[in-house]
Amino acid sequence: MSFQLDKKQQIKEIVKCGKSPAYFLNNYARISHPLHGLILFNTYNFQDELLKDFNDYRFNVILKARQLGISTITAGYITWMMLFHRDKAILVMATKFATAGNLVKKVKNIMRNVPDWLKIATISVDNRTSFELSNGSSIKATSTSGDAGRSEALSLLVLDEAAHIEGLEELWTGLYPTLSTGGRCIALSTPNGVGNWFHKTCIDSEAGANNFNLTNLPWDVHPDRDGEWFKKETKNMSKRQIAQELECNFNTSGETVIDPECMEWMLSNIREPKHKTGFDRNFWIWEEYDPSCNYLLVADVARGDGADYSTFHIVKLETLEIIGEYQGKPTLDMYANMLNEVGKEFGNCMVVVENNNVGFTILEKLNESRYPNLYHSIKSTHEYIDQHTAEHLNSSVPGFTTSMKTRPLIIAKLEEFIRNKLITIYSSRTINEMKTFIWRNGKPQAMKGYHDDLIMALAIACWVRDTAIQSSARELNYKKAFLGAVYKTNTTMNTQIKGQQGYKKDNMFDKLNEAKDIYDQYKWIIK
């Protein structure tokens, strides 16, 4: 539309623009194009739908692919809101101050480039990342640090790249009251894994569990993008990057410790347990005890403050399947009794307990119950030793010690087992924990507000199976071969030869019998 209008026409156009943000943007708003410079805003259909949603819903959450112009259309809506409405207070928040400031800059540029006759309000206060109009409307950029925005009554809160704002759960608790007088919120972002505020808000919105309107905008909503564009764009991108930047896929986005492709493989193995038993029905069993098989039970004990869970896994050693799992909050007595009973039910299998402060209490109770097969290790080296040997060593300690030294080792072993598809996990609880098990400050740990108790127990299981059990198996296989050679001979030994039958001086037969007893006791761990 020509900007050469008489006074009467201008008034009509001002009225039309005030009623419709889409009409205003498509006819009078100009934006900066990287190749063509200043051009008229020409919205796509999906952008027009967004503008309508911004008006129709107080709270909007936008799950988007990159480079769709969502920040620009949001800036356009803000410009319309400020220009045609009085006393609107708008806050743009992002993790980085520069990100929020960039959106404010877009608003300012659109505002400055509308026709003079359409500037029914002008910029009266102009700062680098904030400005105010003569009609009382204002906009300000801020980072997520401090108490920004908490004391203000906001007309519109924009959370830019919301999935990347750490601690947004707490921030939202403080910011929500600022919208209580009818204020609106627009949260927009590419996905960044699961478990964060943005992910939960999207999921809850989809389920109708909150008051947010969800808009999902993957890469192909753009009319100029097709299969060839996608192929070219993703040529040098990882699967994680594609999921995050283009496909709007939560499950394979984010910096999870477990690779997204491995996560997809594990998700395909999930199945309901055959039994849900125990006093709280949190003991899940996928396969009953088989006397011909060998098992390992690994337990992680809750700290005792009620914030986390006590867990254990039952590992079938021949196939490395997790055929049993517990996650709950029993008392220490109940938990110790449960480990004792389950361990005996599965053939007096080796029980490995993480020996944190509370873990030692569990181990003492298992010793009092005379459980016959508890994991022990050397204090200084964390090297596994059998229970019989441990009883005679001052340097031994019952259970497994998770420390700054062992934690990265067991996590690496878990990742190795999963990456090589050596372990089979049926539990949705364990895999859900892996979705929120991320790299934070260079360390593998649960996302804030989530748990990793099942993961840690599983990591210990992988480590014990691949170190202690394998090492013991090799030693016992040697003893087995030696014993086999002795028992198979039919030759009458010369009693005058040292070490042969009849040579009583070195008690060889006593030692052989002792070795046989040890073999019979621990033959279950031989592959």
**DSSP label at residue 250:** S
Q: What is the pLDDT of residue 4?
A: 76
Q: What is the pLDDT of residue 511?
A: 54
Burial letters 332-347, b for 16+ CB under 10 A, else e: beebbebbbebbeebb
The pLDDT of 262-289, averaged and rounded, is 94
Q: Is 50 exceeded by the pLDDT of residue 265?
A: yes
Residue 273: in which H helix or E strand, if any? none
Q: How far apart are CA 374 and CA 351, in angstroms?
A: 5
Closest CA to 104 of 84, 80, 124, 131: 131
Q: What is the pLDDT of residue 516?
A: 59
Q: What is the pLDDT of residue 479?
A: 45
The 10s digit of each residue's pLDDT in 76-121 is 999 999 999 999 999 999 999 999 999 999 999 999 999 999 999 9
| Domain 7-252 class, CATH top level | alpha beta
Give the SS3 label for residue 132. strand
Q: What is the pLDDT of residue 299?
A: 96
The 10s digit of each residue's pLDDT in 201-217 is 998 998 899 999 999 99
CATH number assigned to the domain covering 263-468: 3.30.420.240
The 10s digit of each residue's pLDDT in 373-389 is 999 988 777 778 878 78
Of 71-75, 367-371, 399-403, 521-525, minimum mean pLDDT range: 521-525
The domain spans of the chain are: 7-252, 263-468, 481-525
Of the CA atoms within 13 Å of residue 418, those in its CB half-sphere come to 27
* 236: exposed, middle or buried (Cβ count in 10 Å: 0-12, 13-18, 19+): exposed
The predicted model scores a pTM of 0.63
Contact call for residues 369 and 314 (beta carbons, < 8 A):
no
The 10s digit of each residue's pLDDT in 435-485 is 888 887 678 888 777 899 999 999 999 999 888 766 555 444 544 554 555
The 10s digit of each residue's pLDDT in 47-62 is 999 999 999 999 999 9
| Average pLDDT taken over every residue of the chain | 86
In the chain, % of residues over pLDDT 70:
85
The 10s digit of each residue's pLDDT in 18-40 is 999 999 999 999 988 777 778 89
